[in-house]
Structures are given as structure tokens and as C-alpha cells.
Homo-oligomer: A and B are copies of this chain.
Amino acid sequence: MITAFVFDAYGTLYDVQSVAELVERTFPGHGDYITQLWRLKQLEYSWLRSLGGDYADFWTVTRESLSYTLGTLGITPDESLFAEIAGAYNALRPYPDAESCLAGLTGFRRAIFSNGSPEMLSAMVGNSSLAPHLEAVISVDAKQVYKPDPRSYRMVEEALGVRPSEVLFVSSNGFDVCGAKRAGFKVARIERVSNASLAHELASSATIGPKIFYKAQRLQPETYGEVADYTVSALGQLPDLIRSISHAP
């Protein structure tokens, strides 16, 4: 029986695309390109550092990936501008239905489990409307391994004192879906872009720019691992989903 909802943060409860406004204002014409490449390299660096046995926290990874991204354009901003842009990751906007989703799950335990460093998560969650609905914000940092390392997911059991089979883990990130399934959780995937709409967008676009390419690279179900138990197109559907699961014969 599901007793706890555990949410991924970046891209699931909080919209990583919300850095684009500041980035575009700062580097006109490059906002979309920088936003997509930054996020891709941020994830990549978390994986590569973990694989290399060379963990550094997500704030380091976020700045290193920003530095790489700006570097491709030959841009090296001064320290204070760099800090301002990097800081956008600590002020991501929740998805519009994130708060009502959490409110609709009252009665269940609700927590975040994220790659973010404790300081990043504290800034982002603490300053958002989601904080009152969350019992715990769990960071991989205490174990110094990033998702989808199996050791990371065990922190959820340890922090909440629940068995994996009691957890409905929620993520829009394919690698996180695979990792959470392997860890024994039930998993709900948030399908922000359906396969049909992506295929249509790819077929009908004269050129495939950074944002479509990002969607293609990141937002389809991964084919190397396990698949989600449930797929919904938005967070707002989770309260209905859990009711239908609970009432299933």
C-alpha cells in the first residue's frame, strides 16, 4: 500500500526552464541555447563525477556546467554576474499545479528526494509555496553519490522509515524513473511531452533548435532500463491516480 509520495525536484516539481528569462535578459538571443545546454551538462557532470569517483556537490556541478555552457559562446562573465545567473537555479518556479497536487495528497507522507545540495534545496523550496506541504527534503549529498546510483535511493527509506514498496516515486526524468524502479519503488512518470506531440514537432519544424532537441534528448521514456508503473501528463493528475489505485480490485 502506498503511504508516501516522494518527488524529484528539478524538472518534476520545479521548472528548470524558468531560468530562461534571466538568461535571455542577460545574453539576448542566447537564452534558449544556454538554458538547454546548461541543464544537459549539469546532469552530465553529475553522472560523470559520480562515475569517476569524484563527487562534488550540485552547486559546484551547476556552476561548472554553466561555465562550460557560457564558454562555448566565448563568454566569461565577471564573478558577480556569474553568481547571479547560477543563482537562478536556487529560485526555480514550481510548476503551476505543483502546490495543488501536494495539497491534494494530504494524508500521505510527502517529501522531495533530489540531487540538489542541501543549501540549494533549502533556498529553492524554502522560498516557494511548496514548503508547507513537505515533511522532508532529502539530498543525495549526505551519501555523495548522484541519482541513479542505487545507493542514493536508499536514503529515502532511511530518512522516512518506509519500505520501498510503500513509496510512489514521482519524476519527469527518465533516468530517475529507471533508477527508482530498480530501487524497488512504485514509480509515476510525469510525461511533459507526449511521444506523438514530440514526433509531430520534430516532423513539422523547419529546423530543430535547442529547445526541441532538449525535449528529444531528455523527455521521452528511456529505453535502457525499467519503465514507470504509471504515466500521467501533469502533477495535477496524481491525486486522482492514487484514488484509482487505492480503489482498484
Chain B positions within 8 Å of A208 at CB level: 33, 209-210
The secondary structure that dominates the A interface is helix
Interface size of A as a range: 35 or more
Chain B positions within 8 Å of A37 at CB level: 213, 216-217
How far apart are A218's CB and chain B's nearest CB, in angstroms? 10
Q: In the bound complex, how far is the Cα of B149 from the Cα of A239, in angstroms?
A: 41
How far apart are A54's CB and chain B's nearest CB, in angstroms? 7
Assess the A224–B61 pair: CB atoms within 8 A: yes
Assess the A48–B203 pair: CB atoms within 8 A: no
Cβ proximity bits A6-19 to B, threshold 8 Å, 1 near / 0 not? 00000000000000
Instruction: Please tell me if A89 contacts chain B, counting CB pairs below 8 Å.
Output: no
Q: In the bound complex, how far is the Cα of B41 from the Cα of A244, in angstroms?
A: 35
Instruction: Please tell me if A146 contacts chain B, counting CB pairs below 8 Å.
Output: yes
Assess the B51–A146 pair: CB atoms within 8 A: yes
17 of the cross-chain contacts (CB-CB < 8 Å) are A41-B217, A48-B175, A50-B51, A52-B148, A54-B182, A65-B223, A65-B224, A67-B223, A68-B222, A72-B195, A72-B199, A72-B202, A72-B216, A72-B220, A74-B199, A208-B209, A208-B210
Q: Decide yes or no: A149 and B68 within 8 Å by CB, A61-B224, A73-B199, A74-B195 being known contacts.
A: no
Q: In the bound complex, how far is the Cα of B59 from the Cα of A224, in angstroms?
A: 12
Chain B positions within 8 Å of A50 at CB level: 51
Q: In the bound complex, how far is the Cα of B222 from the Cα of A61, in angstroms?
A: 12
How far apart are A109's CB and chain B's nearest CB, in angstroms? 26
CB-CB nearest in chain B for A193: B72
How far apart are A29's CB and chain B's nearest CB, in angstroms? 9
Instruction: Please tell me if A23 contacts chain B, counting CB pairs below 8 Å.
Output: no
Cβ proximity bits A198-214 to B, threshold 8 Å, 1 near / 0 not? 11001100011110010
Partner of A203, one of B51, B71, B73: B73
Assess the B195–A51 pair: CB atoms within 8 A: no
How far apart are A73's CB and chain B's nearest CB, in angstroms? 5
Instruction: Please tell me if A179 contacts chain B, counting CB pairs below 8 Å.
Output: yes
Q: In the bound complex, how far is the Cα of B49 from the Cα of A48, in angstroms?
A: 12
Chain B positions within 8 Å of A216 at CB level: 33, 37, 72
Q: In the bound complex, how far is the Cα of B67 from the Cα of A63, in angstroms?
A: 33
Instruction: Please tell me if A98 contacts chain B, counting CB pairs below 8 Å.
Output: no
